[in-house]
Amino acid sequence: MSADPSLSPVSRRAVLRTAAWAAPVVALAAAAPAAAASGATTFALALGQNPLVIPAPAPVSTTTLSVQNIGASTASGPVDVVISGMAPDGFTVGAVPGSGWSNTGGTSDDELSFTWNGTLDPGGSNAFFLVIQYHGSSPRPVSGSLLITPTDPGIDAVLLQIQMPADAT
């Protein structure tokens, strides 16, 4: 078998130079799918007022629930959350959904589901109002809590503490 005269031999230096330039490209190409598959958390939930104090004599107060982009780049939803814990403590939850938020199911005295769907720049947030009302029969002081759980396991749940101090006499 004879060598092909049209092919010139490749120097070791050329091989090393090509390998040095190719290595970062290969590393970048390998890192991109790994980051996408890692499920890196991009969103967080935050409450506007926690604990939520419902002053006497009113049985109702409001706070905000927001989704925040804690990532380094623009991110898009949906983010689904479930609010639970109302029934045992006598609280109900209503909402005034903001832009991009919608009520996706449940009842105000058991469990409510909401979905936020939109796009947020890094550091951006989108909120809506939660209306918390007490319908229980226990006299003040009363306290309770609502658990707000995202369906995405990469987003931490938040616990809203509710306090209803004794009536001022």
Cβ-Cβ contacts under 8 Å for 82 (sequence gap 6 or more)? 106, 111, 112, 113, 148, 149, 151
**pLDDT for residue 41:** 67
pLDDT tens, residue by residue, 57-96: 889 999 999 999 999 999 999 999 999 988 777 888 888 8
Asked whether residue 165 carries a pLDDT value surpassing 60, the answer given is yes
Give CA–CA dist 140/57, Å, rounded. 10
Give CA–CA dist 104/119, Å, rounded. 19
**pLDDT for residue 94:** 87
Mean pLDDT, residues 37-46: 73
84: Cα within 13 Å, side-chain hemisphere: 6
**pLDDT for residue 126:** 95
Asked whether residue 115 carries a pLDDT value surpassing 90, the answer given is yes
Nearest of 84, 130, 79 to residue 100 by alpha carbon: 79
How many helices (H) and strands (E) the chain has is answered by 2, 12
**pLDDT for residue 35:** 36
Asked whether residue 16 carries a pLDDT value surpassing 70, the answer given is no
Give the model's confidence band at 56: pLDDT under 50 very low, under 70 low, under 90 confident, else very high: confident
Give the model's confidence band at 168: pLDDT under 50 very low, under 70 low, under 90 confident, else very high: low
